Amino acid sequence: MAVLNGVNNKHEVVVAPMEVSVEAGNYQDAERFDDDGRPRRTGTFWTASAHIITAVIGSGVLSLAWAIAQLGWVAGPAAMLLFAFVTYYTATLLAECYRTGNPDTGKRNYTYMDAVRSNLGGAKVIFCGVIQYANLVGVAIGYTIASSISMRAIRRADCFHTNGHGDPCKSSSTPYMILFGVVQILFSQIPDFDQIWWLSIVAAVMSFTYSSIGLALGIAQTVSNGGFKGSLTGISIGADVTSTQKIWHTLQAFGDIAFAYSFSNILIEIQDTIKAPPPSESKVMQKATRLSVATTTVFYMLCGCMGYAAFGDNAPDNLLTGFGFYEPFWLLDIANVAIVVHLVGAYQVFCQPIFAFVERRANFAWPDSAFITKELRVGPFALSLFRLTWRTAFVCVTTVVAMLLPFFGNVVGFLGAVSFWPLTVYFPVEMYIKQRRVPRGSTKWICLQTLSVSCLIVSIAAAAGSIADVIDALKVYRPFSG
């Protein structure tokens, strides 16, 4: 049974599932529709894994060397392993909430908010929606900024190669943001998640490409140094780093790692692309999560640790755009092109839930409007005036905000820190407890609540570190200065 509703119950519309049987005389529809009457889903373990990897392995992997430099050889890798475990475990809990009741035949929850509504309800649905969509908008803005940095790095790498490292090779990121926005306007016309699987696969390949290049350059630099750099406790307090800065940067490093692993805010939407049982969608999603988190953790550990080994306390905030490396410049160009291509796909993976939410609400509010419902299909694109207008407006707004606040990456870090606890831990734990009827006060209940409270403390601390970084950026803020 499909449910399309607004915040208030009075807007709820229940659509009965389509009967598909020989007796009904419509058995051919079984090949075209799922049990909820929607077009048959075609997603698999591999496409789900590609979506997750595209979402998780962002260009942030290249900042992990800086994060480990703040924490040191002991706490840095330990923090990455800890966040990997927490993310994987809570994702398996969340995957079981895709269907309410029976894991094979229960009512589907098409979005994260639907799952919260079915299991928890009340004000928690609004809280979930605000946190989830604010985070997704922040990620869209952050990815616009990150792509422009990589595009500008390509020009700078060529400039350094031609004119020498003494040339500042300055350039504005604004034209690159506009170019990225134009590309996103085109790709945003792809109707839904299920039809961008090919874009996610391309983006996932690009992730491995630039991560591998960053890893190879880190290994080459370490060999050139004649050994590993760094210390057990990270950057030391001294003339360049005060004790206060050490604390803030340490907390920010936790936030960076937590945000790097976050994909729970789109997990249900990814799971809704998986074809019907058997096996159940939750089992396929858990398997895809296991592969994806294991794969990303290996890359995170290798890139972060080898970057720290290569540069020690001087690890740049981005191995490929911070110019820890200058040569070979053509290899840096390839890596940054791969980053840009990846971010094109990742932007769509994170924005599709926003697009779907707005369009569902519009279809419900104005079901007879030709402006909203009528569309013309051209290949993978389904063009409608409403989709063209509103999605284009969304991309334009995120692009303008990115140009206005070039330090917004720090704000995205804050959003990531704030959203880590509720979306990655709190809601999955609470929904699992409710769905599985875990007895209050039992050992399992206590362990789950302890995990939730511990992650809340980490989120608060990471948010504090990000706020301090934003305040520092505001001191030198100039609009359109990127």
pLDDT given at position 321: 63
pLDDT single digits (tens) 242-257 = 888 888 888 888 877 8
Q: What is the dihedral of CA 385, 41, 431, 117, to 10 degrees?
A: 30
pLDDT single digits (tens) 66-124 = 889 889 999 999 999 998 999 999 999 999 989 887 777 888 888 888 999 999 988 99
DSSP state of 19: P
211 pLDDT higher than 90: no
d(CA 88, CA 285): 11
pLDDT given at position 479: 61
**Nearest of 305, 180, 299, 186 to residue 234 by alpha carbon:** 305
pLDDT given at position 4: 36
Instruction: Report the helix count and the strand count for the chain, using DSSP H and E.
Output: 15, 6
Distances (CA, A) of 388 to 142, 182, 191: 23, 13, 10
Window from 61-65, 152-156, 176-180, 204-208 with minimum mean pLDDT: 61-65
HSE-up of residue 88 (Cα within 13 Å, Cβ side): 19
174: left (phi > 0), else alpha (psi -120 to 50), else beta? alpha
Helix locations, 18-168, DSSP H = 45-56, 64-95, 112-119, 123-163
Residue 261, class by beta-carbon neighbours within 10 Å (0-12 exposed, 13-18 middle, 19+ buried)? buried
457 pLDDT higher than 60: yes
Q: Is the pTM of this model over 0.75?
A: yes
Distances (CA, A) of 271 to 31, 148, 245, 378, 402: 20, 31, 41, 26, 30
HSE-up of residue 26 (Cα within 13 Å, Cβ side): 8
d(CA 408, CA 449): 33
**Nearest of 208, 101, 143, 149 to residue 401 by alpha carbon:** 143
